[in-house]
Structure 1
Amino acid sequence: MDECSVLIGGKAGDGINVAGQTIARIFTTLGYYVYMYYDYPSLIRGGHNFSVIRASNHPIGTHRSGIDILLAMDLTTLRRHQNDCKRDALIIYNSDSVQSDVGSGIPLKRIVEKNGGSAVMENTVMIGALAFALGMEWEEFASVISHEMHKFTEKNLEIARDAFQMQEEKREVKRIHQSPGIILSGNEAVSLGLLSAGLNGYIAYPMSPSTGILHFMAAASGETGVQVFQPESEIAVVTMAEGMVYAGAKTAVGTSGGGFCLMTEALSMAGMAEIPITIVLAQRSGPSTGTPTYTAQSDLHFAIHAGHGEFPRFVFAPGDAQQAFEWAGHALSLSWQFQVPSILMTDRVLSEGVYTVDPEFLPAITPVSVPLWEGHDEYLRYRDTEDGISLYASPPLSGSVIKGNSKSHDERGISVDDGMQIASMTRKQMKKIPLMKEAVSRLNPVHVSGNHDSDMCLISWGSNAPLCREAANFVGIKSVQPIVMHPFPETEMLAATSRSRMTFLLEDNFSGQLADICEAHGIPVDIRLPRFDGRPFTLDQLIEDLWGLAE
C-alpha cells in the first residue's frame, strides 16, 4: 500500500503520545512521510487518549478518517474506533483487559511483568507487535527502539522482542527506498527557527499547547547558550522579556490565548517603546479556560488588534512544521529590523502535531543585522529618521543615556505632553508600515498550490493549510494560504483569487475571522466552512464536502 493509517489508543498515563512518535519513526525508517495527530483530554490519568499516525509516499500534513491498523490498549479504544476501521483493517488489542471476536489479542501486562518492566512499558508491547505486522526485520526495529527510548533501553528491547515474536497476523507495507527527512513537532520547528535567527533568550510560563517550546529550549540551553526562564506568571514573562530586549538580547516568549490576554498591556508598551519582542501565540479552544487540549483559530482578530492604542506589528500564521521553522525565524528577524513586536500564531494541531521535514528545504535564515548606533554625540533612542527606524543601542554605553519609555516621548525618550511632539512620534512609528509590507512581500507571504487554472479557490490559514493543499489537489481546484496576517498581503491575495468564480474559506472558528479580513480587503468569500468543536477537519471529510459544493 502507498499509505497506512495507524491509531493507537489508551488512557492518560499509557504513553500514547510517545508511542505515536515511535510509530512515526518506524514509518520514517521504512521511507514514508508521516503526520501524527494526538488527541487527549486535560487529564493526568484516565480518560481516553489516542494518536493517529498517517504514513504516505508523498508529503502530508493531515490525517484521514479510515484506519488500517488499530492498536487498542483498552476496551474504550476498541469501542470508540472500531467503526473507523477499514474493512480489511488489522486490529490488535490488549487481551489482558479486552475480549473481542475481531482482531488478535496480545497480553500487554503479562509480557511486561515477565520481563520485570513497569506498567508504562505496555505501549512497547503494542509497538513490537506492530513492527512485526508491518514486516520489519528485528534488527531494524531494534535500532528504532534504541533511538527513541533512551531510558531503560535494554528492558524495552526485551519487552519489544517478546511482542515481536508473539504477533502472528501481518499487514505488511512496502518499503520505499527514499529518505524523506526528519520528524519534528510544530513546537520543535518553531524553536529551531527562533534559534536559527539568533535567539538569545526564551521566557515562558507553561500553557498548553505552547509548553513544548519551553521544554525544548530548556533541554537545548546547554548546547545553544540560550537563557531560558520560567517566572511566576505571564505578566512576569513578557515584562522580563522586554527587559532582556532593552539590554540587547533577542528574546521570545510563548503562551496561549489566556496568557496572551495578560500580556496585552506589556504588548502596548512594546509598541510605544519600540521594543522588538516576539510572541508565540499557540491557539487553543476558548474562551476562558475553554478546552485546553483542543484546537481553535479564534484569536486572529485579537492578535491583530491586541493592546490599547495604535502601533505597527507583524502577525504571521505558518501552516506546518517547515513553515513554522521559516516564519519563526522571520518573526524574530523582522521584529528587530523594524523595532516592532511580532506575533507568531500557531494552534494546537500545528504545535503538537508531528511532521516529516526535509532539512534540504529548510531555508537558511541569516540573523538580521540590526542598525546600531556608534556615534559619540548625544544618543537619541527615538530619532525621527526617514524610514522611522532609529539606530539601536543597549546599555552599557559609555557617556550615553539609553531610555526606553512607555509614555509619549520625544526623540531622546523624555516624556512629553505636547500635541505636536506626540503627533510627530506617532507619524515616525507609522512610517515603518509601508516598509514592513515591502519586506514581507519578498518572503512569499501567500502560498498558492493546486490547480492554478481552476475558477474555484479554497482559502485556509494555519494548520488547515496542508489539509486544504491536499484536498485541493485531489478535487482539482486552487488552494490559497496567507501566511502573513498583518500587515495583510492584499496585493498578493487579490492576485491569487482574482480569477475565482467561487471561493471557499475554511477555518476553525465560528465567526469567520479570516473571511471577514478578506472581504474587508475586497476579496469575496462565497462559502464559509467553519468548525468550532475543537477538533480538526479530516481529509476525507473535506474532500466529500468540496465535491458536494462544486457540483
Structure 2
Amino acid sequence: MEALHVLIAGPAGAGVFATSNMLGKTLLRHGYEVFITNEYPSLIRGGQQWALVVASAESPVYSHRRRVDLLLALDKQALGSNLSKLGSEGLAVCDTADKGVEDPRVVPLPFREAVKELGAPTVSINTVGVGAIVGALGGDVELLKSAVASQFRSREVAEVNVKLAEKGYSMGVELRRRVRFQLKRLSSSRRLLIDGNSALALGLLAGGMTAFFSYPMTPASPILHFLAEIQREYGIVVFQPESELAAINMAVGAAYAGARAAVATSGGGFSLMVEALGQAAMTETPVVIVNVQRPGPSTGMPTHTAQSDLRFVLHASQGEFPRVVLAPSNPLEAYELGCEAMNIAWKYQVPVIVLSDKFLAESFWTIPDLPRLEPEEGRVFRGEVQGDYARYRLTGDGVSPMAVPGTRGALVYANTSEHDEYGFGTIDPAVVRAMQEKRFLKLRSLRAEAERKGVKVHGDGQVVLATWGSTTMVAREALRELEGVKLVQLVWLEPFPAESFAQEVSGRKLLVVENNMRGQLVSLIREHVLRQPEGFLGRYDGRPLDPEEVVEFVKMHMR
C-alpha cells in the first residue's frame, strides 16, 4: 500500500505544527513509520504555514513527495492556497465558515461549533480537525486521545483537547467511505518520532557535553531551547550570551577550563565565529560547532533550507589548520555524529563542525530507540601530572597532553600566537615549522577514520548518485523508483574520504545532487578524486529537493 500524505495548513498561531505532532504521534502509536516536515515564512508574526505528515505501514518514509491525500485547512486562505496540491481522489476538511469554494473534494465540518460548545479557545479548532482526520482514517480513538493528551503540559488543557478530538473523530467517522486509506493497529518495536535538532542535542549529551552556548538564530534555536529545558536534569550549563561572538569565545574558554563545550548557530552566526575558530585551532582547544544551514548570503531566508555553507566551513578562518566536518542525513545520524563530534574534538584537540540544515533540523522521522553511546576523553589530565609537562609537546601523532587549570604539577598555558612546546610565543623558523607540522600530523589518523567511516552506500548499480546531508533522504526516497542506481553518501567531508569514495564510484557514471547552486560537493570530488561528475542537480530556492525531480534527473542521464 502506498504511503499516506496529510497536509495541515493555516495561519501562524493556529497550531499547525502542534496538529502535525498530534497526528504524527497517533500514527506512530498505530505502528506506522512517520515523517513530518514543514514550511513557514520568515516573519515575526502572521503569514501562512503548513506541515506535511507522511505515514507508511510497509517501509520507512525517507522524505516527502509531491502529493496530498488529505488536507486539513484551518482557515479560508489555507484552503484556497493548498487545494491545488490535493489529488483528484483526495479529501479536504475545513470549518463550515471557511469553505469558500465549490469543489466536491471539500467537506465543511462544524469545527468552531464544537469548540464553542466546550467553551474552548477558538484556536482549538486544530484539535477538532486532527480528530476528524483520524476518524476519517478509521483510526483507534483511544490512541488519538493519548496522543492529544501528551501534547499539553496542563492536565486541564489536555482534558479539554481530548474532548475536542473526540468530537472531531465523530465527525470524521462519517467520511470513512470517502477515504481509501484506512488505519490498522500494527505490531512494532519501540521507536521514536524525533527531529534532527533534538537528536543532535542528545548526541552531544551522549558525547559528554557539559557546557552549551548559543545565541538564538533560526533554524538552530530549537537546540538551545531543548537543552535549556533539560539542563538541570543532565547537570549541564546552558547559556545564552549577547552574541555569537560571545558564544564561541565562551565555549573555547570553557573547553580550556576542562568542560566539553559546544555551540550551535546558522551560517550568519558562524560567520561571526570565524576568528574564534582560528583561536581554538591555534590553542588546540577542543570545541564542537553546529551549523544548521539556511539560504544566504546575509539574512537570506531564515526559515528555509540550503546546503550552501560547505565550502565556507572547510576554509573558514585565516591560516591553515586541521578540522573535521561531519554531515548527518537523518536524526539517528545526527545523534551518532553529535556524540562522535564531541569525541573527535577531545581525542584530537581540533575544532569539529557538524553541518546540518533546516530540512533535517526541523523535520521528524521515525527511528529505532537511540543506541547507548559513551564519551571518550583523550589525552586529558584533570588531577595531577607527573614529570615535565609541555602543553604542545611534539608527539608522533600530533596530539599533545592537555592539562586543565588546577592540575597539580602543570603550568596550564595557552597561546593564540605561534608558540613552542610549552606555549611560549616564538618566531623561530624551525620551531614554527615543527609546530605547524605537529598540528597537521593529526590528519594522518583523522584521514584513516574518514576513510573507515566517511562513506555510506545504499543500493547498487552502474549509475552512482552522490549526496551529503539531508539530501540523502530525498535521494533514498527517489531510489524506490530507480533501478541500477547506487547511492553514495558522504558523511565525512573533511578530511575527505577520497580513497573510499573513489572505490565506490570507479567505473560508474557519477551524478551529484545537493541543495546549492554551484555544486560544492562536485568541486570537492574534482579536488580530491580528480573526476568531473557527468551530471549535477542543484536546488537553491530555499526548499529541499523533491524525490520526483531527482528521479527525472537520474532517468534523463540513464537514457
TM bucket normalised to smaller: over 0.9
Aligned residue for 2:446? 436
2:502 partner amino acid:
L
Aligned residue for 2:454? 445
Query: 2:134 & 2:80 partners in 1: Cα distance?
Result: 24
Query: 2:405 & 2:448 partners in 1: Cα distance?
Result: 31
Aligned residue for 2:466? 459
Q: Are the aligned partners of 2:385 and 2:409 in contact in 1 as well (CA < 8 Å)? A: no
Instruction: Report the Cα offset of residue 397 of structure 1.
Output: 1.8
Aligned residue for 1:161? 166
Query: 1:532 & 1:49 partners in 2: Cα distance?
Result: 20
Matches within 5 A, 1:223-372: 223-359=233-369, 362-372=370-380
Q: Which is worse superposed, 28-37 or 246-255?
A: 28-37
Q: Deviations over 1:411-447 (max 9, x none)?
A: 11111122221111101101110111112333x3111
The yes-or-no answer on 1:493 pairing with 2:501 is yes
Q: Which is worse superposed, 219-228 or 109-118?
A: 109-118
Aligned residue for 1:39? 39
SS state at 2:50 partner: strand
Query: 1:311 & 1:128 partners in 2: Cα distance?
Result: 56
Distance 1:483 1:65, change over 3 A: same
Aligned residue for 1:5? 5
The yes-or-no answer on 1:25 pairing with 2:33 is no
Query: 1:216 & 1:422 partners in 2: Cα distance?
Result: 43
SS state at 1:96 partner: helix
1:66 partner amino acid:
R
Q: Deviations over 1:430-488 (max 9, x none)?
A: 1110111112333x3111112x2x21111111111011123124201111110100000
Q: Are the aligned partners of 1:32 and 1:180 in contact in 2 as well (CA < 8 Å)? A: no
Query: 2:144 & 2:153 partners in 1: Cα distance?
Result: 15
Instruction: Report the Cα offset of residue 324 of structure 1.
Output: 0.7
SS state at 2:329 partner: coil
Query: 2:123 & 2:533 partners in 1: Cα distance?
Result: 49
Q: Are the aligned partners of 2:314 and 2:494 in contact in 1 as well (CA < 8 Å)? A: yes
1:520 partner amino acid:
E
Aligned residue for 2:100? 99
Instruction: Report the Cα offset of residue 387 of structure 1.
Output: 0.9
Q: Are the aligned partners of 1:180 and 1:356 in contact in 2 as well (CA < 8 Å)? A: no
Distance 1:127 1:162, change over 3 A: same
Q: Are the aligned partners of 2:36 and 2:365 in contact in 1 as well (CA < 8 Å)? A: yes
Task: Name stretches of at least 5 consecutive residues in structure 1 with no aligned partner.
Answer: none
Of 122, 129, 132, the residue aligned with 1:129 is: 132
Distance 1:469 1:166, change over 3 A: closer
Query: 2:285 & 2:391 partners in 1: Cα distance?
Result: 11
Runs of 4+ in 1 over 6 A off after TM superposition: none
Q: Are the aligned partners of 2:325 and 2:494 in contact in 1 as well (CA < 8 Å)? A: yes
Q: Deviations over 1:268-307 (max 9, x none)?
A: 0011000110000000011100010011100000011001
Query: 2:107 & 2:7 partners in 1: Cα distance?
Result: 15
Instruction: Report the Cα offset of residue 174 of structure 1.
Output: 3.6
Aligned residue for 2:512? 505
Query: 1:32 & 1:293 partners in 2: Cα distance?
Result: 28
Between Structure 1 and Structure 2, how many residues are aligned?
545
Instruction: Report the Cα offset of residue 399 of structure 1.
Output: 4.2
Aligned residue for 1:150? 153
The yes-or-no answer on 1:187 pairing with 2:187 is no
Q: Are the aligned partners of 2:128 and 2:164 in contact in 1 as well (CA < 8 Å)? A: yes
Query: 2:170 & 2:462 partners in 1: Cα distance?
Result: 55
Q: Are the aligned partners of 1:6 and 1:71 in contact in 2 as well (CA < 8 Å)? A: yes
Aligned residue for 2:522? 515
Q: Are the aligned partners of 1:497 and 1:523 in contact in 2 as well (CA < 8 Å)? A: no
Query: 1:210 & 1:119 partners in 2: Cα distance?
Result: 31
Q: Deviations over 1:68-110 (max 9, x none)?
A: 1111112222222222212211211122233333321123333
1:134 partner amino acid:
L
- Over the matched positions of the two proteins, sequence identity in percent amounts to 36
Q: Which is worse superposed, 484-493 or 116-125?
A: 116-125
SS state at 2:518 partner: coil
SS state at 1:148 partner: coil
Of 189, 206, 209, the residue aligned with 1:196 is: 206
Aligned residue for 2:84? 83
Instruction: Report the Cα offset of residue 314 of structure 1.
Output: 0.3
The yes-or-no answer on 1:540 pairing with 2:553 is no
Instruction: Report the Cα offset of residue 31 of structure 1.
Output: 1.3
Query: 1:314 & 1:390 partners in 2: Cα distance?
Result: 18
Aligned residue for 1:115? 118
Q: Are the aligned partners of 1:494 and 1:523 in contact in 2 as well (CA < 8 Å)? A: no
1:519 partner amino acid:
R
Query: 1:315 & 1:375 partners in 2: Cα distance?
Result: 32
Query: 1:174 & 1:388 partners in 2: Cα distance?
Result: 58
RMSD: 1.5
The yes-or-no answer on 1:469 pairing with 2:460 is no
Query: 1:281 & 1:86 partners in 2: Cα distance?
Result: 37
Query: 2:323 & 2:85 partners in 1: Cα distance?
Result: 44
SS state at 2:464 partner: strand
2:515 partner amino acid:
D
Task: Name stretches of at least 5 consecutive residues in structure 2 with no aligned partner.
Answer: none
The yes-or-no answer on 1:530 pairing with 2:531 is no
